[in-house]
Structure 1
Amino acid sequence: MRIDKFLKNSRIIKRRTVAKESCDQGRVIINGKIAKPGDEVEVGDIVEIKFGQGIMKIEVLSVQNNVSRDNSKEVFKVL
């Protein structure tokens, strides 16, 4: 799954366009490499997202196209 779509589906970032812009600005890193919006994310990948002064580091647990609000926390684990 594309990283911009994963960030939107997991509700880490509210809109896919914002996720795409974050990738374009170099704020998203997958396994130590700066991510482009079309880069694929797989189970077990470590993703770092820079939000202002903080960094959120997560591990991908599941890749699903449709995730309900209640289950959105089950697709990733905060490290």
Structure 2
Amino acid sequence: MSDAVRLDKWLWAARFFKTRSLACDAVDRGRVTVNGDRAKPARNVKVGDVLEIDNGSDKWEVDVMNLSDVRGPATVARNLYEETDVSVARRAAVAENRRLFPEPSAHLKGRPTKRDRRHLDNL
């Protein structure tokens, strides 16, 4: 195995993104930084690099521990990185805020049904 892997392949192999094209788009939009700098999808990632990843639902800060350009099981992917303590605490705080203060429209499921409309009319 080489001592460097393309950033988009590593993000895909580490299961931060479902496809390589999603990983490429995130890197192009600046949602992934390597050692604090914006990067391009073809940038090589090395062991010891620090990545800040915003995959849409969560923001991660991870240290690269191993390299792989092949997507494998989640247990293997978890060995590719180690999340920093700051990132773990931040994600836990965000999850707690989501639990305590849910989005008001989260329970809505689209257009009201005929039954829902009748219920609203009766009110």
TM-score (structure 1 length as normaliser): 0.90
Equivalent runs, 1:1-79 vs 2, <5 Å: 1-52=5-56, 54-69=58-73, 70-79=75-84
**Shift, 1:12, TM fit:** 1.2
Which consecutive unaligned segments of at least 5 residues does structure 1 have? none
The alignment yields a C-alpha RMSD, in angstroms, of: 1.5
Q: Secondary structure at the match of 2:33?
A: strand
Q: Secondary structure at the match of 2:24?
A: helix
Which consecutive unaligned segments of at least 5 residues does structure 2 have? 85-123
Give the structure, 1 or 2, with the largest relative contact order (CA under 8 Å, sep 6 or more).
1
The answer to which of 40-49 and 59-68 deviates more is 59-68
TM-score (structure 2 length as normaliser): 0.60
**Shift, 1:49, TM fit:** 0.9
The structure richer in helix per residue is 2
* % identical equivalent positions: 32
Which structure has the bigger radius of gyration?
Answer: 2
The structure richer in strand per residue is 1
Matched-pair contact (CA < 8 Å) for 2:12–2:71: no
Moved over 6 A (4+): none
Over residues 4-63 of structure 1, what are the superposed CA-to-partner deviations in whole Å (9 max), with x where a residue is unaligned?
A: 000001111110000000011011100010011111100000000123474210110001
Measured at CA, do residues 25 and 59 of structure 1 come closer, stay the same or move farther in structure 2, by a change above 3 Å? same
